[in-house]
Amino acid sequence: MTDALISQPLRARIVVTGVGLVSPLGLNLCTSWAGIMAGRSGAAPITRFDPKDYQTTFAAEVKDFDPVERMGRKDARRTDRYTHFAVAAALEALEHAQFAITETNADRVGVLMGSGMGGAETLDVGMETVLREGPGRLSPFFMPMFLGNMAAGTVAIMTGARGPNYAPVSACASSAHAIGEAAEIIRRGDADVMIAGGSEAPIARMVVAGFNAMGALSTRNDDPAAASRPFDAERDGFVLGEGGAALILESPEHAAARGARVLAELTGYASTDDANHMVQPAPGGSGAAKAMGLALKRAGIVPNAVGYINAHGTSTQLNEKFETEAIKAAFGGAAYDVPISSTKSMTGHLLGAAGALEAAFAIMAMTEGTLPPTINQTMPDPDCDLDYVPNGSRRADVNHVMSNSMGFGGHNVSLIFSRFRN
């Protein structure tokens, strides 16, 4: 594999020094990555509500998570589950980066936490309360609990970060946008350190019913572990997942000054839109292909330098067909040589949190020298004829990894992380 460079404008460098995760495979980075390496599915029957009347009765839930351990009882009760995940991921990422927010540096630390759905469970419960008991019974915390920016705001409250803070909302590209835009905030000098990522807790009645109504969810109720099967010919829809992920971003100079370990460098970020359809990708994956091409250009590398792609790979018919075509358009002949996998085959689809979770897995693939598998590959699809690392992880020494995210509304984001070199 070559590591050829192409000319690029000089831009300030951004590195990753910490990662935190809460996923259906584990409550932290270590256990989540172990689940990925084992090829374990997080899908199981829904326990967040009674799904007996629903077309889909399973999801990839986070198990045994106690927000009180991270936030205390009072704050946990006054915030939604999606906020709990954001706080837990952010706290782990800060610990992993060995970075402490103090009165001295707090104004220079920002937070971007994206979410596609916000407080879905709070909305569900609030609606039932109003309909059954009347509007006077609604909790005074209802409004702040469901707002899509409250995870970002609460992370700042819990950590003391007083720098730039907002919540990108671009459906399933939200947290990928958060990472890319957090890097731009550092580049323009508005922060020294950014906590960037996303969170989602969408396993609620209206969300499941809504995705069922549009035919987006798998209905493989008899075998949830086999339901998420990206790029497989028998895929029948995605598996809803929940969790959160956060990265710590800073400049190499800032990291060096505090003696931090650098995990990776964010070398490429690009965002486009299909301008085509509310939910369907553009034919041929043209918008996603442009995002990948721009990310490669900004990273200053040629396509065959990329050693691994973490694909959006939702396990829906149109996504995998068009994403495969997009990779071919962006990579040319190199598309057949680059290993690609969808970790959604194991975690399910975390919607707005998916991009950050999968960026973390892409970084781990590079730092650990092992590529995640795409599980449940049993029936080849002639429209999906690339190397999807089927059914088992693979050892590989790679210097550049790509993570792709696509969201309803036509949003596309491509991130490239590279092995850091001084």
CB 204 within 8 A of CB 124: yes
- Is 96:18 a contact under the CB 8 Å cutoff? yes
Rounded to whole angstroms, the Cα distance separating 239 from 307 reads 27
For the question of residue 384 being annotated catalytic, the response is: no
CA 397 – CA 392 distance, rounded (Å): 16
SS3 267: strand
Pairing between strand 109-114 and 58-59? unpaired
Cα three-residue angle 9-14-15, rounded to 5 degrees:
140
Rounded Cα distance, 90 and 18, in Å: 9
- DSSP at 60: B
Q: What are phi and psi of 327, to 5 degrees?
A: -60, -40
* Greatest C-alpha distance within the chain: 65
Rounded to an integer, what distance in angstroms lies between the CA atom of residue 81 and that of residue 196?
18
CA 415 vs CA 99, 269, 307, 311, 339: distances in Å: 24, 5, 13, 11, 16
Structural element, H or E, at residue 324: helix 317-331
Token duo for residue 164: 């730039």
Report the distance separating Cα 35 and Cα 364, nearest Å.
Answer: 13
177 is catalytic: no
Selecting among 312, 384, 400, 411, the annotated active-site residue is 312
CA separation for the pair 356, 211 (Å, rounded): 22
How many angstroms separate the CA atoms of 403 and 364, rounded? 12
Residue of 96, 177, 254, 349 marked active site: 349
**Cβ 300 vs Cβ 7: under 8 Å:** yes
The question of whether 349 is a catalytic residue gets the answer: yes
* Residue appearing with tokens 């043209």: 286
- DSSP strand E in 297-350: where? 308-310, 340-341
Catalytically annotated residue among 96, 172, 384, 400: 172
Catalytic residues: 172, 312, 349
